[in-house]
Amino acid sequence: MLTIYHNPRCRKSRETLSLINDSNSDVEIVEYLVNTPTVKELSVLIDKLGMQAGEIVRKNEAVFKEKYKGKTLTHDEWIEAMVQYPKLIERPIVVKGNEAVLGRPPENVLQLID
């Protein structure tokens, strides 16, 4: 079972979901702008990605430019910021068990498909 943290308005997210659907994999779709992950859930996702929180922050979003540009935040502070403003979360994130990939490029998801 794959889980995709998805934004249906995002082209890369739609392309990643299409690759999953084409593989006939079971998938759970989490529209993270509607069902925002908690601090704990987002921390687990970032750990599964093997990244630092600041690495998955969308720096072209207006909220980033208005509130965070030029600031240095800790790992935990970035997580708090992304929970408060989920548009800051890079997308899509696809999870299978203890592994996760960022769907940029969408073909990264193929690493999780059997």
Contact (Cβ atoms closer than 8 angstroms) between residue 6 and residue 47: no
CATH code of the domain containing 75: 3.40.30.10
Domain encompassing residue 106: 2-112
* Active site amino acids: 10
Q: How far apart are CA 19 and CA 27, in angstroms?
A: 11
**Radius of gyration for the alpha carbons in the chain, expressed in angstroms and rounded:** 14
Structure confidence at residue 34 (pLDDT): 97
Structure confidence at residue 16 (pLDDT): 98
pTM score above 0.85 = yes
Average pLDDT, the chain: 97
- Check pLDDT > 80 for residue 61: yes
- Check pLDDT > 80 for residue 75: yes
- Average pLDDT of the segment spanning 19-37: 97
Q: How far apart are CA 88 and CA 81, in angstroms?
A: 8
With a pLDDT cut of 70, the percent of the chain lying above it is 100
Domains: count for the chain: 1
Using one digit for the tens of pLDDT, what is the confidence trace for 79-104? 999 999 999 999 999 999 999 999 99
Structure confidence at residue 114 (pLDDT): 73
